[in-house]
Amino acid sequence: MAVTPSFNNNLFASVDMGTNSFKLLIVRTDSSTGRFIALDRLKEPVVLGRDIVSSSKISAASYVHSFDALTKFQEILCSNRVPPAHTSFVATSAIREALNRSEFTTKVHQTLGLEVNVLSGEEEARLSYIGVLQFHPVFDKKVLTIDIGGGSTEFVIGKQGKVIVGISLKLGHVTLTEEFVKTGELQSMREHIRSVIRKSGLIDKVAEQRFDIVIGSSGTVRSIEKAIFYGYGGSLMDDAGLFEGHKRDWRFVKEELGDLVSRLYLEEGRIELLDKRDKFFKRRSEFIVAGAVLLEEIFVALGIFEMVVSGYSLGEGVIAEKMYGVLNEFDLNANARWHSVVRLAKRFNNKKRMKSAALCSSIAKELFESLRKLMVVYCEDMHIILDDKDREYLEAACLLHNIGLFLGEKGYHKQSYKIIMNGEHLHGYNSDEVKIIALLARHHRKKFPKLDNHSHGFNQEVKQKFRILCIIIRLSTMIEHNFPNVKEIDFSHSDEGFKMVLNERMGQISSSQNNVKEEIKKEIEHFRVVLDQKLSVILPSRTSELS
């Protein structure tokens, strides 16, 4: 009996053609729960906003930059085999306002075969709100969402996925920078922002609604929160040596924003400090003054005292919308507690580690499903049936297994365990579930847990399940680390036992280190001890078999 999972059937992607940059997002979805995990993100700094300020048209140079970025994205989508029907291309403020937008989108279609959906301001606002719902468990709350883009800022008050108020204002960090910051007219910029907000009727519309929480999305808001949290370049540690980030939950208050704006004002124009700011904010440095001042004026105008920050925004909202159209069972409020796992992972992991953790989680899910089906037939004497909750614990542990690397590589699996256990981060999970996730992260490497160790009051069935999940997470991290280009795993059973065949993409170079073989042999022995079954592993581009 063979089980051959596909790694590509549940891939979705969005391309956000924004005022400042074009962004590609690829996710793997779970059609049974509506959850998704980002597998890859890529940003290309096209900066169309400068064209709109200077001439209201997309320039010839920007045409070239845009087509280069889109061609690059196409190649990545093709190499990952993302189904075209699962991919959405959307354009926002700059293309929306361009006088030659029809010419541009037509040429994109004729040259690259891509259909670009130019979003209205209200539609952009709604999708940003939908994206926020994928990150924070606030489906049943009345939420004010604020998304600051390069050419516009979107405001939505929504509840249960429905928009109550949706407004888009032509205030963006790129256009404000081009019109005011570069000429040093900061006070004029403030007056302009106040005038646009006042004339829009936004203040009265927001005042009519009693919202429960204010959430900011977009890269600018996340950069502001990051600057506040790090003390604008500093690093915060508590007495135990753990990063204080696990005690915060992606939020800041009005006073903290005001302090940041004051410091940015102080540094504006001072070359030695400007260089330091450039290094801290990276590509967003050029526009951070305008973004921070704009957000401060919004706080004052709308009487906001605290903002919670979302790690998701328009791109994730576009994907959620696409999933809703493709998957009949998709639920916007699907498994809200899963998002607390994602938030914790994103808090401690950089982009590279997050990508590795997401791939590990995807591999683990495929191995789990294959093994679960085969165990029913070939391991019936164990009287163990793996269920969907077991899979969720496994995926969560995979997503969190490497967060301890924030504190260094030595013993990082133990640090991951401590962070998960000691911060009350995982909302909606009871204490036993948190322990299982933390212990799986703890034992994804080094010593394999014995049956009688780390019982924590678990019954015999839970302890046995835990050891099976340990096997899967250890195999998954081993595969992700040594064979990151794996495209599918063939899992089968015969009279000789279980067999796992790893297949990589063509043209990729497989790892050939002897210590990799030794690592695999150790995991094969753990498999034999726990399941009383032989496991053979065939590595990519090899004829040899390890067993």
How many percent of the chain have pLDDT more than 90?
43
What backbone torsions phi and psi does residue 420 show, to the nearest 5 degrees?
A: -65, -40
Strands (E), 255-348: 306-309
Among candidate residues 48, 65, 66, 64, the one with its CA nearest the CA of residue 56 = 48
Question: Is there a contact between 144 and 308 (Cβ–Cβ < 8 Å)?
Answer: no
Q: Please state the CATH superfamily assignment of the domain spanning residues 338-546 in this structure.
A: Hypothetical protein af1432 (1.10.3210.10)
pLDDT at 274: 45
User: Does the CA dihedral 221-227-230-233 come out positive or negative?
Assistant: positive
| Mean predicted confidence (pLDDT) in 513-520 | 75
pLDDT at 510: 44
How many percent of the chain have pLDDT more than 70?
84
Instruction: Render pLDDT for 420-435 as a digit per residue (tens, 0 to 9).
Output: 998 677 877 888 999 9
Instruction: Render pLDDT for 353-403 as a digit per residue (tens, 0 to 9).
Output: 988 998 899 889 888 888 888 887 777 677 788 888 899 999 999 999 999
Lowest mean pLDDT across 37-41, 154-158, 191-195: 37-41
DSSP state at residue 8:
S
Higher per-residue confidence, 120 vs 245 = 120
pLDDT at 108: 94
Whether pLDDT at 78 is above 90 = yes
CA dist 451 and 449 (Å) reads 7
3-state secondary structure 189-230: HHHHHHHHHHHHCHHHHHHCCCCCEEEEECHHHHHHHHHHHC
Scanning the structure block, which residue is given the tokens 């990082």? Answer: 412
The string of DSSP letters for 12-29 reads EEEEEE-SS-EEEEEEEE
Name the CATH topology of 136-311. Answer: Nucleotidyltransferase; domain 5 (3.30.420)
Amino acid identity, residue 10?
A: N
Which burial class, exposed, middle or buried, applies to 251 when counting CB atoms under 10 A from its CB (0-12, 13-18, 19+)?
middle
Q: Please state the CATH superfamily assignment of the domain spanning residues 2-120 in this structure.
A: ATPase, nucleotide binding domain (3.30.420.40)
Question: Is there a contact between 160 and 137 (Cβ–Cβ < 8 Å)?
Answer: no
- Identical fold for domains 136-311 and 338-546, yes or no, is no
Instruction: Render pLDDT for 204-228 as a digit per residue (tens, 0 to 9).
Output: 999 999 899 999 998 889 989 988 8
Whether pLDDT at 544 is above 90 = no
**Residue 7 pLDDT level (bands cut at 50, 70, 90):** low
CA dist 31 and 331 (Å) reads 10
CA dist 354 and 281 (Å) reads 20
**CB < 8 Å & 24+ apart, contacts of 373-382:** 373/3, 374/1, 374/3, 374/491, 374/492, 374/493, 374/498, 375/531, 377/1, 377/493, 378/1, 378/493, 378/498, 378/533, 379/531, 379/532, 379/533, 381/532, 382/464, 382/531, 382/532
| Mean predicted confidence (pLDDT) in 23-43 | 85
Q: Do strands 213-217 and 306-309 pair parallel, antiparallel, or not at all (unpaired)?
A: parallel
**Residue 466 pLDDT level (bands cut at 50, 70, 90):** very high
CA dist 7 and 503 (Å) reads 11
Question: Is there a contact between 54 and 92 (Cβ–Cβ < 8 Å)?
Answer: no
Whether pLDDT at 267 is above 70 = no
Q: How many CB atoms lie within 10 A of CB 117?
A: 12
Amino acid identity, residue 271?
A: I
Whether pLDDT at 543 is above 60 = no
Lowest mean pLDDT across 247-256, 324-333, 516-525: 324-333
Q: Which two tokens stand for residue 318?
A: 């576009």
Higher per-residue confidence, 23 vs 510 = 23
3-state secondary structure of 319: helix
Q: Where are the domains of the chain?
A: 2-120, 136-311, 338-546
Among candidate residues 514, 510, 535, the one with its CA nearest the CA of residue 523 = 535
pLDDT at 495: 80
| Mean predicted confidence (pLDDT) in 186-198 | 95
